[in-house]
Amino acid sequence: MGIEVLLRKINDYTPSDKLLIIRAFAFANKVHKGVLRKSGEPYIIHPLNVGCILAEMHADAQTIAAGIMHDCIEDGAGITKELIAEQFGDKIAELVDGVTKWKKVDFNNDKKMTDSANMKKIVESILVDIRIFIIKLADRLHNMRTLEFQSLQKQIENAEETLRLFVPIAHLIGQYTIKSELEDLSFKYLKPEEYQKIDELKQEVAREYRQVLDGIICMVAQMLNIEKIEYDIEVKIKNHYALYNRLQHYKDPAKVHDLIAIKLLVDDIETCYKVRDQIEKLFEPVPERAKDYIKQPKTNMYSSLHTTIKTSNNRLIQFQIKTKEMYRINAYGLTAYWQLQERNREFNPASKMQEDLRKLQFFQTLDDIYHANAGNTENFNFEVNQMILSKKIYVRTPNEEIIELPVGATPVDFAYKIHTDLGNYLIAAQVNGEYVPLDTPLKNRDIITIIADENLVGPRRDYSNMCRTNRSLRKIKEFRKSHYMR
């Protein structure tokens, strides 16, 4: 693989952007000259592939250049952040330096300390410039694609770390494309026999569903043509790792409602609803599986209409109806800005990404955890694992805003997640219209109403026993300390 492959991927970039990327490649090629990977290939193949992955996202030229040079400071004698800044500008130097600082983490095989330090680097990179994490994500993806050249121990360590750290954050920023591939690559190395079984199952499902799918698609296409609706259509079987996890619960693949998804892409939101209604007239819908993620997008920006139908032979097939813009955002998350906007001097996708990132719940949670635990690594690591990396439930406010909480969270945790004052002055809570004890574990789709009284002197002492998140406990302690309550 030479630079020609990368040049084809950036063919529509401006001449100045292409020149910057070519200069970055020449710089990295010189730094890594004579160095080989474990595969026996020249080392430059790795950063070049990282650049290609970023180019496939339509990343800005600065990000691609930094991705190509991401190993230069660590591996090149005399290569410093200042030297890169002198030749490529401060912003690219900061991106390269951000990735370099991450790679220096080493605690002599102490996995817990290494995980903690790596997570802190992830959080710092996200808070400063999400592109640092995205470069690292591309770096991890190529390393996972070439993991067969590592020792068995390294394969397992890298696969476990990928599932623990990289997959959850990729999900949170909506990068489903990379998330799914990282899941499957990790699964392949951690459970090779199960991976093979799922692979064979997917092939079997493709054969079994082919005829019924052809009939369904033909009927849908005919309907869309009659309605004069322009569309794109894509059929996808659930990825290996997600299907494996589903089967731990359902056992029978035929009961997995989203085993096969038919994705319909149309021009606008109004057409999404029109198409959904027509599909539910053509086929037998499964009402309890209908989801409207257009009116209520997921917390990582995912938007779509979902409706599941039952076929004549009692098989379930999910329709995902979305606009083409939604499709790109669903596939690439925040990085979709690189695709959705024309490259021009007025628009800065990096700034837009960081601006919208700050609106996401997980960013606000990370920001709070990072600054509250600046001097306490143990608490920082515990809260990140609890609030960010653990399994989640999705509950709602009376205004239908979706709130993300860890499994086991209570109304007290919900109140503190909404606003510190709401937690401090909480006196009662309703779940789905009924009063409940404040230590009641919440469930997916619950609607929670908090009753507060600002005349209270603060949270009751027993609230510490009624919450399940470290964040809520911390807020209660902070109130008591600031008000001299013991």
Tens-place pLDDT, residues 13-25: 999 999 999 999 9
The model's pLDDT over 334-355, given as tens digits with 9 standing for 90+, comes to: 888 787 665 455 667 778 888 8
- Topology of the domain covering 3-189: Hypothetical protein af1432 (1.10.3210)
Residue 425, pLDDT above cutoff 90 = yes
pLDDT score recorded for residue 345: 52
441 is written with which tokens?
């574990």
**CATH code for the domain defined by 361-482:** 3.10.20.30
Q: Give the 3-state secondary structure of residue 42.
A: strand
Question: CATH 3.10.20.30 in the chain, residues?
Answer: 361-482
| One-letter amino acid of 120 | K
Question: CATH 1.10.3210.10 in the chain, residues?
Answer: 3-189
Question: CATH 3.30.460.10 in the chain, residues?
Answer: 193-334
pLDDT score recorded for residue 251: 79
The model's pLDDT over 227-266, given as tens digits with 9 standing for 90+, comes to: 999 999 999 999 999 999 999 888 788 888 889 999 999 9
CATH of 193-334, one of 3.30.460.10, 3.40.50.720, 2.40.128.260, 3.10.450.50: 3.30.460.10
pLDDT score recorded for residue 379: 85
- Sorting pLDDT into bands at 50, 70 and 90, what band is 117? confident
Residue 413 annotated to the active site? no
223 with 278: CB under 8 angstroms? yes
Residue 162, pLDDT above cutoff 60 = yes
CA distances, 43 to each of 33, 39, 47, 96, 394 (Å): 8, 9, 8, 17, 44
121 with 377: CB under 8 angstroms? no
Residue 485, pLDDT above cutoff 50 = no
Q: What is the pTM of this model?
A: 0.90
Query: Catalytic residue among 56, 74, 325, 367, which?
Result: 74
What is the CB neighbour count within 10 angstroms for residue 111? Answer: 12
Q: Give the 3-state secondary structure of residue 244.
A: helix
Query: Catalytic residue among 56, 75, 161, 325, which?
Result: 75
pLDDT score recorded for residue 105: 55
Residue 75 annotated to the active site? yes
pLDDT score recorded for residue 235: 95
Q: What is the mean pLDDT of residues 155-167?
A: 93
Residue 53, pLDDT above cutoff 60 = yes
Residue 300, pLDDT above cutoff 90 = no
pLDDT score recorded for residue 178: 96
Residue 306, pLDDT above cutoff 70 = yes
Q: What is the mean pLDDT of residues 380-390?
A: 88
Residue 361, pLDDT above cutoff 70 = yes
pLDDT score recorded for residue 101: 81
DSSP assignment of 411-469: HHHHHHHH-HHHHHTEEEEEETTEE--TTPPP-TT-BEEEEE-TTS-SS-GGGGGT---
